[in-house]
Amino acid sequence: MEYAYDDQNIFAKILRGEIPNKTVYENDHALAFEDIAPQAPVHVLVIPKGPYMSLDHFARDASPEEQAGFFQAVASVCEMSDLAEGFRGISNTRAHGVQEVPHYHMHILGGRPLGRMLQP
């Protein structure tokens, strides 16, 4: 699979500081910030700082350090948010996954019962 990263996507602009965000956590390899249109009391997006389009792209091509940094950010967001009752991590991917922003991100959603994973 060929991945053609578009550096004009909105999360690339956030990473470059061209668009403001409400940062909740940052390390060398990842940034976590509040979703602009929250779907639950907790709705944080965790993104790698590198140019990866999707979960499969990141899993294939990101270095071990980038992957560790990303998941360390996920762990920190979970720890600092009110998620003891549980949460959902979602990575929508391409057309069938209804991915709107072509920079890999994991939604961390929680703070209320979320219902079943997929509509019947």
Residues that bind ligand 5GP (CB under 6 A): 10, 19, 21, 33-37, 92, 98-101
Residue 64 Cβ vs ligand 5GP, minimum distance, rounded to whole Å: 25
Residues that are catalytic: 105
Q: Cα dist. 35→11, 41, 74, 111 in Å?
A: 11, 11, 15, 14
Residue 101 Cβ vs ligand 5GP, minimum distance, rounded to whole Å: 4
Of 47 and 62, CB closest to ligand 5GP: 47
Residue 59 Cβ vs ligand 5GP, minimum distance, rounded to whole Å: 16
Phi, psi for residue 119 in degrees, rounded to 5 = -70, 145
Of 84 and 117, CB closest to ligand 5GP: 117
Spatial distance between the Cα atoms of 94 and 23, rounded to a whole number of angstroms = 25
Among candidates 5, 84, 18, which has minimal Cα distance to 48? 5
Phi, psi for residue 35 in degrees, rounded to 5 = -65, 140
Of 10 and 78, CB closest to ligand 5GP: 10
